[in-house]
Amino acid sequence: MTVRNDRERRNDGGRKRPGGSAAPLSGAYDTALLDLDGVVYRGGVAVPHAVEALGAAREDGMRLAYVTNNALRTPDAVAAHLTELGVPAEAGDVVTSAQAVARLIADEVPEGSRVLLIGGEGLAVALRERGLVPVESADDDPAAVVQGYGGPELPWKRFAEAAYAVGRGVPWYASNTDLTIPAARGIGPGNGAAVEVVRIATGGRFEPKAAGKPLPPMHRETVLRTGAERPLVVGDRLDTDIEGAFNGGVDSLLVLTGVTDVPQLLAAVPEHRPTYVAADLRGLLVGQPEVVADGAGGFVCGGWRASVEGGALVLDGKPGEGSGAVDAMDAVRALCGAAWTAADAGAGVPVVGEALARLEL
**Active-site pick, 6, 12, 30, 35:** 35
Tell me, yes or no, if 93 is annotated catalytic: no
What's the CA gap between 189 and 237, in Å, rounded? 15
What's the CA gap between 278 and 330, in Å, rounded? 9
**Active-site pick, 6, 30, 37, 344:** 37
Tell me, yes or no, if 294 is annotated catalytic: no
- Residue 168 CB-density burial (10 A; 0-12 exposed, 13-18 middle, 19+ buried): exposed
* Active site amino acids: 35, 37
